Amino acid sequence: MTRGQTFKRCIIVDDDPDILLSARLLLRDLFEEVATFQTPEEAMAAMDEALPDVVLLDANFGRGATNAAEGFHWLTEILKHDPDAVVVMITAHGGVQIAVEAMKRGATDFISKPWSNERLLATVRTAAALRNTREEATTERKRAAVIATPAGGSETPILGNSPGMARVFSLIERAAPTEANVLILGENGTGKELVARALHEKSRRAGNVFVSVDLGAVAENLFESELFGHVKGAFTDARGDRIGRLQAANGGTLFLDEVGNLPLHLQPKLLTALEQREVTPVGANRPVPIDVRVIAATNLPPDRLADEGLFRQDLLFRLNTVEIDLPPLRDRRRDVPMLVDHFTGFYSRKYGKPPRAIPADVARALEEYDWPGNVRALRHACERAVILGDGEAFTVDDFSLSRAAAPRPAAATVPAAPSGGDDLNLERAERNMIEAALKRHGYNISLAAQDLGLTRASLYRRMEKHGL
């Protein structure tokens, strides 16, 4: 910290008004705010409103007191209130012995009355710099904890040489080096997160973090805490400070997956944070600046995004500086052989299986199949085929395709979920129910999960289990 830089806040606690005035005048150029109090109780109340960078605390308050008992008591109370507090004890009696005891109890340093102005300035400047260092270290630890949360990555690369994918690759190359916000459109399973990661890896922020948050999986009552963070005591379960996803992504890229599932009444909160480039953690009274590039994704079609009753248009304009529309796999069938070769090879190596041939009739059946779950479904089918298949070559049955070129039913003709009929096999019944729910809702995972009474994560696990 150089002498020309200032800190935010200093609190001075002393029962002598002359000491308070002298210290405030001396430190006013070092801090944006210097608050003075004659009683520790007043100072503690002020700390409830905003934590200081440094507290200067008198060792004795009672008339004639010299043992620093009161100062030690309030030192303990301050550290209970803020474990990272930086406290400089002001001593007048007892000298080194009291100073040593104060530092054993958690004080950062001490200053003796009468003080040297140069000594006081140097001590307080060093203490304030220590506070900043502690805060940065704490923020980095919390940030690392958020970033370490699994983001649902995949072994799937972005593969394809169809015209639709050529357009996608071109947009990635042109948009990635810029700071423009990007909105990725596409059905579930088309690889929206993979495109987001590619944009990050080709951007100027590639050396910084990529933080992903699935807005479809965030409960409404946890939205602000998850995205903006919270401070200790902000609500019943807030047992400690926690930084949110936006702050964790500072300097890097924030991927807002399933942004179309964000309830309308929460959308203004996200818009405000993106417009003002700052967040205020729940329970805090001071905003935190953020520097993030936002990439969002949704499976909502453009006509539904344009509906003001579903999605705020000012938020949409903030997010879709560049739009990348990922085609479903049925619209780029020529990419299927390349993907099948990749996935069967990948899983053969992963599970120690010998490579197997893909006969022409099998390749044709895979290419003609509609793949309602898109690339994700193809990947699961390839993994299952590698694990369960026998012989030197794959068969259509290895991939569990009911029929080639299975048409994707229109929403109006989707039958109701089966009641079970005469088939009492639980596994098949569960699979049929999930398939029916997916078809009924046009493969919208959130709506299907809601219809089934499941969370999105639970539905994904069951889809993977049944190869859907």
Q: What is the CATH number of the domain that holds 68?
A: 3.40.50.2300
Residue 147, C-beta contacts closer than 8 angstroms, at least 6 positions apart: 209, 211, 248
Residues 304 and 361 in one domain: no
Domain that holds residue 281: 163-327
Inter-residue contact 304 to 444 (CB < 8 Å): no
On whether both 32 and 119 belong to a single domain, the answer is yes
Considering the domain architecture, whether residues 394 and 334 belong to the same structural domain is answered as yes
Q: How far apart are CA 401 and CA 69, in angstroms?
A: 80
Q: Same domain for 135 and 213?
A: no
Domain assignment present for residue 389? The answer is yes
Using CB atoms within 10 A of its CB, is residue 427 exposed (0-12), middle (13-18) or buried (19+)? exposed
Coil, strand or helix: which one is 128? Answer: helix
**Domain-ending residue, one of 145, 177, 212:** 145
pLDDT at 431: 83
The contacts of residue 67 (CB under 8 Å, 6+ apart) are: 60, 94, 98
Residue 158: inside a domain, yes or no?
A: no
- Pair of tokens at residue 118: 């140069």
Is 252 contained in some domain?
yes
Same domain, 22 and 35: yes
Which SS3 state, helix, strand or coil, does residue 3 take? coil
Does pTM surpass 0.75? Answer: no
The pLDDT of residue 139 is 60
Question: Which residue do the tokens 């301050």 mark?
Answer: 78
Closest CA to 53 of 108, 132, 163: 132
Tally the domains of the chain: 4
> Which CATH number does the domain housing residue 460 bear?
1.10.10
Residues 257 and 348 in one domain: no
Note whether 14 and 131 are same-domain residues.
yes
Q: Report yes or no on 421 lying in a domain.
A: no
CA dihedral (445, 446, 449, 451) positive or negative: negative
Q: Are residues 395 and 436 in the same domain?
A: no
The 3-state DSSP composition of the chain as helix, strand, coil percent (nearest 5) reads 50, 15, 40
Do 322 and 335 fall within a single domain? no
- Furthest-apart CA pair in the chain: how many Å? 99
Burial class (CB in 10 A: 0-12, 13-18, 19+), 446: buried
Establish if 449 belongs to a structural domain: yes
Q: What is the pLDDT of residue 435?
A: 84
406, part of any domain: no
The last residue of one of the domains, among 273, 307, 327, is 327
**Where do we find the tokens 């049925």?**
330
What is the structure's pLDDT at 424? 60
Any domain includes 152: no
Supply the pLDDT for residue 423: 59
Q: Which of 207, 206, 224 is nearest to 215 (CA)?
A: 224
In this structure, what token pair is assigned to residue 159? 């593969």
Q: What is the pLDDT of residue 126?
A: 87
Same domain for 338 and 322? no
Whether residues 74 and 58 share a domain: the answer is yes
Contact 209, 255 (CB under 8 A): no
Please give the chain's pLDDT, 468 residues, in tens: 444 567 889 999 998 888 899 999 999 889 989 999 999 999 998 888 888 889 999 888 866 667 788 889 999 999 888 888 899 988 875 567 788 888 888 888 888 888 888 888 988 988 888 887 776 656 655 555 555 444 334 445 789 999 999 999 999 999 999 999 999 999 999 999 999 999 999 999 998 889 888 888 788 888 888 888 877 777 766 667 778 888 888 889 999 999 998 889 999 999 999 999 998 888 887 888 989 999 999 998 888 888 888 899 999 999 999 999 999 999 999 999 999 999 999 999 999 999 999 999 999 999 999 998 899 999 999 999 999 888 899 999 999 875 333 334 333 333 444 444 555 677 778 888 888 888 887 777 877 887 787 777 678 778 877 777
- Is residue 183 located within the same domain as residue 248? yes
For residue 32, being part of any structural domain is answered with yes
Q: Helix, strand, or coil here: 55?
A: strand
DSSP 273-286: HHHHTEE--BT-SS
Helix (H, G, I), strand (E, B) or coil at 90: strand
**What CATH number is attached to the domain comprising 186?**
3.40.50.300
| Strand stretches in 29-144, DSSP E | 31-37, 54-58, 87-91, 109-112
Q: What backbone phi and psi angles, to 5 degrees, belong to 19?
A: -65, -45
Please give the pLDDT value at position 16.
Answer: 87
Which string of DSSP letters, residue by residue, matches 345-376? Answer: HHHHHHTTPPP-B--HHHHHHHHHS--TTHHH
Question: How many whole angstroms separate alpha carbon 360 and alpha carbon 345?
Answer: 17
